[in-house]
């Protein structure tokens, strides 16, 4: 367990940085136990043996180790941000079109759509994220810029963008996602042309951040919906405290594909994973943790990322706060 702690109850800088250095050393010993996502050709080109980790605390301090400043493709982590935008836009009406239960199936499975009449189990599997993107496509003429605008504000980085080559690679191979979109449209759960929604969805998934930016961008979920002001910008109530709590609950139960139960057991924090190798975790009242390592396990989650988060909660006890 980390010691000492400051008067705020947060760990002292020296002990937290030492813990990150230890985790970095231990995690890198696991290189080679997974493989990069190869079903998206552009992601198959990512150099596998990389590891970065960043922690942002609610007092405004940040800590990094390894490749924490290397940009990577967020992929399914963006489903968290689009869901939050939809929740802000239409509130509880979102639940008329998507559920909030764990799926227990692969993130790109179509099986449940057949038996559940085109209503996806939750907004973090592909089918659910497509419905969320459809909702936002109706609301925004240029969803890609609306999403980037929110993310640039949360990271204080006006240059944040999406990778056009990755977006095209995804769009060219999005056959299963297109099939899901048309199937849901046949059940009346899709308002826009699937082609347009898929364009938006693939650009969304191709958004790039580094670990430090991702930890900062999710701070509102650790801080009662309130984003911390930086560089002279005041704090902002980005999401209500009640909605932040609800989003965290959904991340805990549904944020790691069909490994959500294992993540809850091993790590005990709300998380969102992505096949780009990133994972973001929320420690309510404490801070956020972002980790990136491109080598994935069979369920599409980062091998080193899951290990690093488990080690961090062992060292900090943040899953008991």
- Structural domain that includes position 89: 13-320
pLDDT tens digit sequence for 60-82? 999 999 999 999 999 999 999 99
Is 182 in the active site?
no
In a domain, 259, yes or no: yes
In a domain, 3, yes or no: no
Helix (H, G, I), strand (E, B) or coil at 57: strand
170: annotated binding-site residue? yes
pLDDT tens digit sequence for 273-292? 999 999 999 999 999 999 99
User: Is the distance from CB of 131 to CB of 177 less than 8 angstroms?
Assistant: no
Residue 237's beta-bridge partner residues?
226
Looking at every residue in the chain, the average pLDDT score rounds to 93
pLDDT tens digit sequence for 124-168? 999 999 999 999 999 999 998 999 999 999 999 999 999 999 999
pLDDT tens digit sequence for 7-58? 355 667 889 999 999 999 999 999 999 999 998 999 999 999 999 999 999 9
In a domain, 19, yes or no: yes
- CATH code assigned at 18: 3.40.710.10
15: annotated binding-site residue? no
Tokens of 108: 């790109």
310: annotated binding-site residue? no
Half-sphere exposure of 98 (CA within 13 A, CB side): 27
Q: What are phi and psi of 236, to 5 degrees?
A: -135, 130
pTM, whole model, 2 decimals? 0.94
In a domain, 1, yes or no: no
Q: What are phi and psi of 278, to 5 degrees?
A: -90, 150
DSSP string, 116-176: TTT--S-TTSHHHHHHHHHHHHHH-TTHHHHHHHHHHHHHT-TT--B-HHHHHHHHHT-HH
In a domain, 4, yes or no: no
182: annotated binding-site residue? no
In a domain, 262, yes or no: yes
Q: What are phi and psi of 107, to 5 degrees?
A: -60, -25
* CA dist 87 → 58, 132, 223, 254, 257 (Å): 23, 9, 18, 16, 20
Pairing of strands 236-237, 226-227: antiparallel
In a domain, 31, yes or no: yes
What's CA 79's distance to the chain center, in Å? 7
275: annotated binding-site residue? yes
Of these residues, 36, 94, 103, 201, which one is catalytic?
A: 201
Of these residues, 257, 272, 280, 313, which one is catalytic?
A: 257
Is 79 in the active site?
yes
pLDDT of residue 4: 45
pLDDT of residue 3: 52
236: annotated binding-site residue? no
> How far is residue 139's CA from residue 58's CA, in Å, rounded to a whole number?
32
Is 39 in the active site?
no
Question: Which residue is listed with tokens 């006006």?
Answer: 158
Query: How many domains does the chain contain in total?
Result: 1
Of these residues, 36, 84, 166, 275, which one is catalytic?
A: 275
Question: Which residue is listed with tokens 């980062």?
Answer: 302
In a domain, 5, yes or no: no
Of these residues, 55, 63, 73, 76, which one is catalytic?
A: 76
Q: What are phi and psi of 106, to 5 degrees?
A: -60, 155
Is 201 in the active site?
yes
For residues 76-104, give the mean pLDDT.
Answer: 95
Helices (H), the chain: 13-28, 41-44, 78-90, 111-115, 126-139, 143-155, 164-172, 175-186, 194-205, 211-217, 219-222, 241-254, 260-266, 303-316
User: Is the distance from CB of 58 to CB of 222 less than 8 angstroms?
Assistant: yes
User: Is the distance from CB of 72 to CB of 209 less than 8 angstroms?
Assistant: yes
């Amino acid at each position: 367990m980390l010691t000492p702690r400051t008067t705020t109850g947060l760990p002292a800088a020296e002990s937290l940085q030492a813990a990150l250095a230890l985790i970095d050393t231990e995690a890198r010993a696991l290189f080679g136990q997974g493989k990069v996502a190869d079903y998206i050709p552009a992601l198959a080109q990512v150099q596998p043996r990389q590891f970065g980790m960043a922690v942002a605390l609610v007092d405004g301090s940040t800590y990094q180790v390894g490749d924490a400043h290397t940009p990577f493709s967020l992929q399914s982590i963006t489903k968290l941000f689009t869901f939050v935008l939809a929740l802000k836009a239409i509130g509880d009406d979102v639940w008329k079109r998507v559920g909030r239960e764990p799926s227990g199936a692969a993130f790109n499975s179509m099986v449940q759509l057949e038996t559940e009449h085109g209503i996806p189990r939750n907004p973090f599997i592909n089918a659910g994220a497509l419905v969320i993107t459809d909702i936002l496509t109706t609301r925004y003429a240029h969803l890609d810029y609306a999403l980037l605008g929110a993310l640039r504000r949360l990271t204080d980085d006006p240059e944040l963008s999406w990778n056009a080559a990755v977006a095209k690679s995804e769009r060219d191979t999005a056959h299963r996602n297109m099939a899901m979109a048309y199937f849901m449209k046949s059940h009346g759960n899709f308002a826009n042309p699937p082609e347009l929604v898929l364009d938006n969805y693939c650009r969304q998934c191709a958004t790039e951040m580094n670990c430090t930016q991702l930890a900062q961008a999710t701070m509102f979920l650790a801080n009662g919906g309130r984003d911390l002001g930086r560089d002279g910008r005041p704090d902002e109530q980005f999401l209500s405290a009640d909605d932040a709590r609800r989003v965290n609950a959904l991340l805990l139960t549904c944020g790691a594909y069909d490994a959500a139960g294992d993540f809850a057991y091993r790590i005990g924090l709300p998380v969102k994973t992505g096949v780009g190798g990133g994972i973001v975790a929320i420690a309510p009242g404490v801070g956020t943790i972002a980790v990136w390592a491109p080598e994935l396990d069979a369920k599409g989650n980062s091998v080193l990322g899951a290990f690093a988060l488990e080690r961090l909660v062992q060292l900090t006890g943040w899953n008991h706060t």
